[in-house]
Amino acid sequence: MGSVALSESMDSDAGMKKNKMIDSVFVKEVAAEEKQRKRLASQTVKAPNVSRKMPKRAAACIDFKEKPLRISKKDSIIETNRDRGVEEEAVAVHLTAGQEGGRPCRRLVDFIFHNKDGISQPFEMLEVDDIFISGHILPLEESADKEKSKGIRCEGFGRIEEWAISGYEDGSPVIWVSTEVADYDCIKPSSSYKKFYDHFYAKASACVEVYKKLSRSYGGNPDISLDELLAGVVRVMSGMKFFSRGVSIRDFIVSQGEFIYNQLIGLDETSKSDKLFVELPVLGDLRYESSNLVDLAQARPESSHGSLKIGSKSGDQENKINKNATSCPDEENEDLKLARLLQEEERWHSMKQKKNHGSAPSSKYYIKINEDEIANDYPLPAYYKTSTVRDG
């Protein structure tokens, strides 16, 4: 019996060891699965999120509440704002009248100066042809009346009888044109007419700047030289938009020397200064330089190539006979004035074209350098001389 009990106890111990081994293998497998699951979970977290976040949309309403709304007949009609226009200049001046006691003065915006056929003309052409106005006529002062402040559109009124430049004391040119009915302050031309108007505005600006440089009230000096005057005016006018890169402002001012001289000496009648403009040597020098430029432009070459000429050759006998037979002094003066104005316009347009093409580099020219100049800039290399060091 003792041997039987011993064998039973041995069998039970073996069974317990076997169960423990099975349990340990199961635990290891479970641990390995858990470790694998954690590793896969960590890889999933590290993966970048490529999904795009979409904006939220509000839920569509399926139950609309309708309310009755009464609209008057006046509110249900859409009216377009149209410019008020009249045919007669006197009516437009009357509709824009303010508190004035003398001759009517109005502002002029969105204007065009044109001939009787409606073709736009440069401002200077009013000296040789009948020029008319189309534009908005506004009160001279700002009005509280909205309808009056909008202005009245008037087409083809005039003609222009005379013009004037003011604003010298304020430092900014103001251009006036006058008809038989009223005087008009030219505020702003139409976009299509601006290219014609800029030329005359540049001339008026040059007059004002020369006035400032020669007037002691502006800190100017009437005794300066012509070079100092031109340098100062060029420095100021270089910032104006119609004088950008490529345009020679100095040449433009010199070409308008006669015009500037006539405008400034016209101020002597009302001037309170002790020194008149007509007495200033610098204005005489400017006028002289301008006349030299005009004489150079009037020189007629042997072959015309269809270009415009002013004057005639002294030896052309046929022209002399025709002139004595068919011309009168007044007609000659008108033709000469027209030719000069056309020449001036041509010069202005050529300056504008130079401005537009001035930024493009030209490949037609190169700088030739003499070989001797290169040799002077880059002399032959000097060789080092070895020096013997004596041991003392």
Tens digit of each residue's pLDDT (9 = 90 or more) over 285-336: 999 998 887 655 555 444 334 444 444 444 444 444 344 434 444 555 667 6
Q: How does residue 124 score in pLDDT terms, banded at 50, 70 and 90?
A: confident
Q: Check whether 151 has a pLDDT greater than 80.
A: yes
Q: Is residue 226 part of a domain?
A: yes
In a domain, 276, yes or no: yes
In this structure, is residue 333 part of a structural domain? yes
50 confidence band (pLDDT: 50, 70, 90): low
Shared domain check, 119 and 260:
no
Mark whether 286 and 141 lie in a shared domain: no
Residues 129 and 264 in one domain: no
366 within a domain of the structure (yes/no)? no
Determine, yes or no, domain membership for 4.
no
Instruction: Check residue 85 and give its pLDDT.
Output: 84
Structure confidence at residue 178 (pLDDT): 95
What is the per-residue pLDDT for 21?
Answer: 63
**Is 212 among the domain residues?**
yes
- Containing structural domain, residue 223: 194-302+326-358
Q: How many CA atoms lie within 13 A of 167 on its CB side?
A: 18
Decide: 165 and 207 in contact? Cβ < 8 Å.
yes
Please provide the average confidence, as pLDDT, over all residues in the chain.
74
Domain check: are 169 and 133 in the same one? yes
Residue 154 pLDDT > 50, yes or no? yes
Using 50, 70 and 90 to split pLDDT, how confident is the model at 265? Answer: very high
Distances (CA, A) of 314 to 99, 299, 336, 337, 383: 60, 12, 17, 20, 72
Q: Are residues 173 and 201 in the same domain?
A: no
235 and 170 in a common domain: no
Band (237; pLDDT cuts 50, 70, 90): confident
Last residue of a domain, one of 192, 208, 224: 192
| pLDDT value at 80 more than 90 | no
Residue 223 pLDDT greater than 80, yes or no: yes
- State what percent of residues in the chain have pLDDT above 90: 33
Residue 101 lies in a domain: yes
Establish if 245 belongs to a structural domain. Answer: yes
pLDDT > 70? residue 260: yes
> What torsion do the CA atoms of 222, 223, 226, 229 make, to the nearest 10 degrees?
-40
Q: How many structural domains is the chain composed of?
A: 2
- pLDDT score, position 210: 95
* 91 shares its domain with 238: no
- Tell whether 252 and 263 lie within a shared domain: yes
Domain boundary residue, one of 143, 158, 192: 192
Whether 124 and 180 map to the same domain: the answer is: yes
Tell the residue number behind the tokens 């003792």, with chain if given.
Answer: 2
Q: Which amino acid is at 10?
A: M
Same domain, 168 and 203: no
Give the pLDDT confidence score for residue 219 in this predicted structure: 87
Contact assessment for residue 160 and residue 177, using Cβ atoms and an 8 Å cutoff: yes
The stretch 217-239 carries a mean pLDDT of 90
Share of residues in the chain with pLDDT > 70 (%): 55
CA–CA separation, 211 and 221 (whole Å): 10
Query: Which pLDDT band holds residue 176 (cuts at 50, 70, 90)?
Result: very high
8 Å CB contact between 206 and 253: yes
Kindly tell me if the per-residue pLDDT of 107 is higher than 80.
yes
Same domain, 348 and 203: yes
Q: Do 204 and 183 fall within a single domain? A: no
In this predicted structure, the answer to whether residue 66 has a pLDDT above a threshold of 70 is: yes
Q: Which of 174, 192, 210 is the last residue of a domain?
A: 192
More confident residue, 51 or 137: 137
